[in-house]
Amino acid sequence: MDWLYSDTVKEHFMNPKNVLETDESSWPCDGRGIVGNIKCGDQMLILLRISDGVITDCRWKTYGCASAIASTSILSEAVKGMKIEDAYILKPQDIVARLGGLPENKIHCSVLGDKALRAAIDDYLEKNNLPPLKGKEASEVVCSCLNITDKDIENAYREGARDWEGLQERTKIGTVCGSCKDRAMELLHQYEHLFG
């Protein structure tokens, strides 16, 4: 049977880089971010060391599948030496591209990385009384008829939307042409994994 993942995914799953192998308190960090829901099977912790606005080191722990582990591993390598402003706008698609792709049913596993990374950067900025970067991250227009973005769908999920009807109630998505339903439902599924 052939491996369903790229060689890069296999390498980062079998030999993950920068894993936090000690207790969190024994690796002092400047920023800490944790996202996900252990009940759904995926949770990610990212710890950052930052100097002069540049990420100098990154450690992580992920509870999840091969895709989630590989995504976190490659993300931890990618952000070293990166300015926090550049790291803040990394998207799941950037991580998937670095991995050489993921099976469609595993793409949602890569969305934890960028959110945990942003949470760690937000933590660093808040601790140091620096201006926030919230709102600088890229957004995806899901419904072009009504200009509804992935952020709008995330907010709707946080407000209680759990199905298509609930999403339409809160955002009016899909009430013009409806071609956005599949992507909107994928995002809803991703947010279920993230927020439980």
Q: Which residues are catalytic?
A: 40, 109
Closest CA to 195 of 126, 111, 104: 111
Other Cβ atoms closer than 10 A to 37: 15
Q: How far are the Cα atoms of 12, 40, 41, 108, 186 from residue 105, in angstroms, in the given order?
A: 19, 15, 15, 7, 10
- Hey, which residues does 37 pair with through a beta bridge? 42
Other Cβ atoms closer than 10 A to 94: 17
